[in-house]
Structure 1
Amino acid sequence: MQIDCYGFEATSVFFQRRKLQPYRIYENGSVTYICYDDGEQCPIHRITKTGNETVVEWGYGSWNQREQLAYIPINQTREV
């Protein structure tokens, strides 16, 4: 199943069209993690700031495993 960075399936009318409000935010130095619901598995955004550059990516998995997830650019969809 193909999902976007908020977890909407490719068949949803919200697929790549809707933004959600953050549910959890965790900061660790120059990295910020954000998730948008309390599901066991969910999309997690990672924002990394280094110098003058900010990189925004997303992964899919458990909030407790957020630092070990595989992250892709925010505008890409992924198969789960």
Structure 2
Amino acid sequence: MCFLIVTTYVCDRCGKAFRSTQSHRKCASQRGTGRPYHAHLDIENVTKYKHWVDCKDCEYEYSMYAHAQAEGIAWPTPNPPFH
């Protein structure tokens, strides 16, 4: 059977899903003969984790934390921490 692969990108720090892509893959029987995709696709969900620097929410939180540290403002320790 042919596949529809749905890839979701998730922040490894906060868990926010910030992007999703779809791609189609033909099976060997359809690809070899040059025929179109099967009518009913098997759906495969894939989750890929991205570093927190790719997440706008985590970047904003880090900039606020760094500003507070630089200015001597009391600010709670981030949980989970930035690695």
Give the TM interval when normalised to the shorter protein. Answer: under 0.3
TM-score (norm 2): 0.22
Larger RCO (alpha carbons 8 Å, 6+ apart): 2
TM-score (norm 1): 0.22
The structure carrying a bigger helix percent of its residues is: 2
